[in-house]
Amino acid sequence: MVKTQILRSNLKKSGKNKFAWFDYYELSDIIPTIIELCNQYQLFTHITFTNEEAVLSIIDAENPESLVQYKSPMRDLELKWCNQIQSLWGIETYQRRYLYLNCFDICESELFDAVTWDDGSNTWTIQKEISKTDKSVSSEKQRFNKEQLQNLSQNKEYLEKFATSDDLIKDIQKLWYSISKEMRMKIADVRAK
Q: pLDDT (tens digit, 9 = 90+) per residue, 94-138?
A: 899 999 999 998 887 554 444 454 555 544 444 444 444 444 444
- ∠ CA(139), CA(78), CA(189), 5° rounding? 60
Low-confidence winner among 51-55, 150-154, 171-175 (lowest mean pLDDT): 171-175
Q: Is the pLDDT of residue 67 over 70?
A: yes
3-state SS assignment for residue 7: helix
Q: How far apart are CA 56 and CA 45, in angstroms?
A: 7
pLDDT-based confidence at residue 80 (cuts at 50, 70, 90): low
Closest alpha carbon to 95 in 136, 58, 50, 140: 50
- ∠ CA(14), CA(17), CA(19), 5° rounding? 160
More confident residue, 173 or 63: 63
Break the chain into its structural domains and give their ranges.
Answer: 2-103, 112-192
State residue 134's pLDDT score: 42
Q: How far apart are CA 104 and CA 6, in angstroms?
A: 8
State residue 114's pLDDT score: 47
Tell me the mean pLDDT in the region 153-166: 79
State residue 183's pLDDT score: 74
Q: How far apart are CA 49 and CA 72, in angstroms?
A: 10
154, 166 in Cβ contact below 8 A?
no
